Chain A
């Protein structure tokens, strides 16, 4: 497997955005989703991203998650400029280092919850026995014990969202990107998920970047970044560390 060689220097950030812009479309129809984002995220951090709808949170997450590349500016992951990687290299980055909870869940239809959770392990080449055990564990952690064989169609929105979270954490990625992971959950469930994320961050050292609209959820994070019109409006440490 053609791994990516990271250049390790001392005072290097895990994630570094420098003047990142993203423009959809061209000419008159051009949509400036990001207008110049500067952002550093260190290893082990737990960042909540907030901001009004359309402020560019998801766009920024897609870029951070190596699913998309900036129109201008640079995104460095562990010192590597992602925009200069090939498609396959970016895929390998995602496969081995990143976990992603999509805003719209994006589960495979007509495929059981267990198989959905197993999917990233398949692409990591984990043998089927181990895969199964880890997928069952991940489903257990998001409170879906016994729901293995249900397909997304047979699950509620909140349950689907938790399957999506299980799929993102099953690989124990270096960085977990979660786009509104509790958007469809009631307060009690949301708190369980936030406790889980906090635990992953604290005990396993997983760096977490999470988009949320709710101040209650953002309160779990160590740091809160606010977006407005494609720019970082504020970036501050969270007073009340959970």
Chain B
């Protein structure tokens, strides 16, 4: 009987294909948006977590400004190299401290060029970020002190500029700085918010300051805590030290930030989660609008088919059977919209994941929830029209023209 009702509903919807399609558009968009957002958001979150895991949980980031955001630190007293040295010297639980400044620059070798992230730091940088040199060597102390024109390149930069050629000993140009490649970093693989960790050129900090930024500032200090030492204590020690060095009185707030990876992860995933929540709200509204659209069309349909309803009631259909017929029609309509939305969303997600360089993480849960939700929209918004149909008086309905 239910199967019959479903077939009946499908036939009824087929009679008005265009109307049916327009009716479910709201549901298609709602379901499609929710699934796309959650899938892409989930992929981005997974990626952030993965990268943070690869950086190690004992990493601390010290940055000027109240709160660390991607590239957000303006208007605050910057750090100097001496601050990094002070942390290394005074905080006992740290294993390595690296002052870091970086800038996106066009690197040129011969007729090849490639826009990459040029980072000024010292050998501690490789310890802190857990990277090793695959071939060549680290910076020497004299190179670091003198601000020599030498660099260590990442795997992506090697590929883009040198192709199959050995880069060691070659000279690449970074703006006006021509520097010799002395080392090649071990590849880390693609990761983090579409950022390729191997797309990097490391030069001595003093070289960066003198030849690229033109000042003595350090953008951020990266600290790795000794294995087994509590990161909370290191965080607190660094905080106290920095307050002292920055001459903050007891009543002043911190004008810098010491964050561990957990907090950074929370912040980064928080952004994507907020975005997901916002867009999901938009999607929910469009589901609601879709539901109202379905109710509207079902009401029109009930009026148009008053005679049919009268005939069915007169011939022996129970109220519940007429109710069921129209309810099933509404649910078939809305879940059809749901299915189309799911198909569109998965296609869009795979494409977007590719474009945004985030992994495509299939979330079966949200697909099922979205489908059930679309079916529920049909039940909720189809109920009133169906009830209206079932309550018609057969004699009145038969006289309806």
Residues in chain A within 8 A of chain B (CB atoms): 62, 67-68, 87-88, 91-92, 94-96, 100, 102, 104, 106-110, 119-120, 122-125, 167
- Interchain residue pairs A-B with the least CB separation, the first 5: A95-B316, A123-B316, A120-B315, A106-B311, A94-B316
Docked Cα-Cα span, A167 to B321, in Å, equals 19
Residue of B nearest to A104 (CB): B398
Scoring B314, B315, B398 by chain A CB atoms within 10 A of each residue's CB, the highest score goes to B315
Contact (Cβ within 8 A) A62 B308: no
Q: B318 an interface residue at 8 Å Cβ cutoff? A: yes
Residue pairs across A and B with Cβ atoms less than 8 A apart, 12 shown, are: A88-B320, A91-B317, A92-B316, A92-B318, A102-B398, A106-B310, A106-B314, A106-B398, A119-B315, A122-B4, A123-B321, A167-B315
Option from A62, A92, A108, A120 in Cβ contact (under 8 Å) with B395:
A62
- Shortest beta-carbon distance from B18 to chain A in Å: 16
* Residues of B1-56 contacting chain A, CB below 8 A: 1, 4, 15
Residues of A within 8 A of B320 (CB): 88
Docked Cα-Cα span, A88 to B323, in Å, equals 13
Docked Cα-Cα span, A68 to B314, in Å, equals 10
Scoring A87, A92, A96, A107 by chain B CB atoms within 10 A of each residue's CB, the highest score goes to A87
Say whether, besides A62-B395, A102-B398, A88 and B315 are in contact (CB < 8 Å).
Answer: no
Residues in chain B within 8 A of chain A (CB atoms): 1, 4, 15, 307-308, 310-321, 394-395, 398
Say whether, besides A94-B314, A100-B314, A88 and B319 are in contact (CB < 8 Å).
Answer: yes
Residues of B within 8 A of A125 (CB): 1
Residues of A within 8 A of B398 (CB): 102, 104, 106
Scoring A119, A125, A167 by chain B CB atoms within 10 A of each residue's CB, the highest score goes to A119
Docked Cα-Cα span, A67 to B399, in Å, equals 13
Residue of B nearest to A91 (CB): B318
Scoring A104, A123, A124 by chain B CB atoms within 10 A of each residue's CB, the highest score goes to A123
Residue of A nearest to B310 (CB): A106
- Shortest beta-carbon distance from B138 to chain A in Å: 82
Say whether, besides A88-B319, A110-B15, A123-B321, A67 and B395 are in contact (CB < 8 Å).
Answer: yes
Task: Determine the main DSSP class of A at the interface with B.
Answer: helix
Contact (Cβ within 8 A) B316 A108: no
Residue of B nearest to A100 (CB): B314
Scoring B307, B316, B319, B320 by chain A CB atoms within 10 A of each residue's CB, the highest score goes to B316
Contact (Cβ within 8 A) B318 A120: no
Residue of A nearest to B12 (CB): A110
Contact (Cβ within 8 A) B395 A88: no
Docked Cα-Cα span, A68 to B313, in Å, equals 12
Residue of A nearest to B399 (CB): A104
Docked Cα-Cα span, A3 to B310, in Å, equals 23
Contact (Cβ within 8 A) B318 A68: no
Say whether, besides A106-B307, A122-B4, A68 and B395 are in contact (CB < 8 Å).
Answer: yes
Residues of A within 8 A of B15 (CB): 110
- Shortest beta-carbon distance from B314 to chain A in Å: 6
Residue of A nearest to B396 (CB): A68
Residue of B nearest to A93 (CB): B316
Residue of B nearest to A88 (CB): B318
Docked Cα-Cα span, A88 to B320, in Å, equals 9
Docked Cα-Cα span, A87 to B314, in Å, equals 11
Residue of A nearest to B317 (CB): A123
- Shortest beta-carbon distance from B366 to chain A in Å: 39
Contact (Cβ within 8 A) B314 A67: yes
Residues of B within 8 A of A102 (CB): 314, 398
Docked Cα-Cα span, A88 to B315, in Å, equals 12
Residues of A within 8 A of B394 (CB): 67
Contact (Cβ within 8 A) B313 A119: no
Residues of B within 8 A of A91 (CB): 313, 316-319
Contact (Cβ within 8 A) A108 B308: yes
Docked Cα-Cα span, A167 to B129, in Å, equals 83
Residues of B within 8 A of A108 (CB): 308, 311
Residue of B nearest to A123 (CB): B316
Residues of B within 8 A of A110 (CB): 15
- Shortest beta-carbon distance from A116 to chain B in Å: 9
- Shortest beta-carbon distance from A178 to chain B in Å: 14
- Shortest beta-carbon distance from B53 to chain A in Å: 60
Residues of B within 8 A of A109 (CB): 307-308
Residues of B within 8 A of A94 (CB): 314-316
Residues of A within 8 A of B317 (CB): 91, 123
Scoring A88, A100, A106, A110 by chain B CB atoms within 10 A of each residue's CB, the highest score goes to A106
- Shortest beta-carbon distance from A24 to chain B in Å: 10
- Shortest beta-carbon distance from A115 to chain B in Å: 10
Residue of A nearest to B397 (CB): A106
Contact (Cβ within 8 A) A124 B316: yes
Residues of B within 8 A of A87 (CB): 319
Scoring B15, B312, B320 by chain A CB atoms within 10 A of each residue's CB, the highest score goes to B312
- Shortest beta-carbon distance from A133 to chain B in Å: 17
Q: Identify 7 new A-B residue pairs, CB closer than 8 A, beyond the known A108-B311, A120-B315.
A: A91-B316, A92-B318, A106-B311, A119-B312, A122-B4, A123-B315, A167-B315
